[in-house]
Amino acid sequence: MRLAIISDVHGNAFALEAVLQGVRAAAPDLILNLGDQIEGSADPARAYELQAALGALEVRGNNEEKLWPGGRRGPLAQAFGAWLETQLGPQQRERLAALPLTARVADGTVLACHGTPASAWDMLLWQWQTEDAQSGAGFYRARDPRELLALVEPLEAQVVLCGHTHRPGATRVGDTLVVNAGAVSDQVDGDPRARWTLLERRHGHWSADFRTVSYDVAAAVAWAGRHSPFGAFVKHLLESGTMRGRGDGETAQPG
């Protein structure tokens, strides 16, 4: 069985198009989308349509929860939400807001979530260690393996999939493979290329193959500059492949 995992598209249609070329070539049995689909400004309407057409099994991310009434906490988040409403209609936003927190596939052996199975905002494999409270600058540290075991073992899953941290990686916890699929857009490691993961079961054992895809970053930046008020932010974010201000656990979209 082959599962293609995408996460954290963040409204970047340009990165998503490149990823989907690889996904289609892999001919998976199912595509899973781990959330944060549209919160970005590199053509989010087209990014929505591309994702909606996949027929993927979807879970909601923390940015889908921003689409709930009162879900945007600060002025910048509210300003971004107002712009996003000019790009996508209410039915599209309502569909995303209603996505489930978790889902299971492969006869229940694979559990998918965005952050953790209990919260789209929390982090599973890694946690953010803040160095500068004012700017939010910091670094990822591994979660205490005993904490991770306590979170994962009760799930009784062979694989737990997550996103949210924009950092691909995997580890085994007891009998469970825990996989962070990485992010289609908005990288944190200085490499601006898009990421996705192919999960495969052979002879009863699951393995994760992390894929990295180049895309037209300049076109994405140009679109944001022409069509949104967030062009300077997007230029730095996509060209540098780094984020600032991750101390609250959010992705580096406005708000």
- Quote the pLDDT of residue 252: 40
CA distance 238 to 193: 9
- Quote the pLDDT of residue 135: 66
CA distance 171 to 166: 16
- Quote the pLDDT of residue 245: 43
- Quote the pLDDT of residue 136: 67
To the nearest 10 degrees (0 to 180), the angle between helices 13-26 and 44-52 is: 20
**What does the block give as tokens for 94?**
């309502």
- The number of beta carbons lying within 10 Å of the beta carbon of residue 152 is 23
- Quote the pLDDT of residue 128: 79
- Quote the pLDDT of residue 132: 73
- Quote the pLDDT of residue 63: 97
- Quote the pLDDT of residue 130: 78
In the CATH scheme, what is the homologous superfamily, with its name and number, of domain 2-240?
Metallo-dependent phosphatases (3.60.21.10)
**What does the block give as tokens for 168?**
């691909």
3-state secondary structure 30-57: EEEECCCCCCCCECHHHHHHHHHCCCCE
Per-residue pLDDT of the chain (255 residues; tens, 9 = 90+): 999 999 999 999 999 999 999 999 999 999 999 999 999 999 999 999 999 999 999 999 999 999 999 999 889 899 999 999 999 999 999 999 999 999 999 999 999 999 999 999 999 998 877 777 776 667 778 898 899 999 999 999 999 999 999 999 999 999 999 999 999 999 999 999 999 999 999 999 999 999 999 999 999 999 999 999 999 999 999 999 998 643 333 444 333
| pTM (2 d.p.) | 0.93
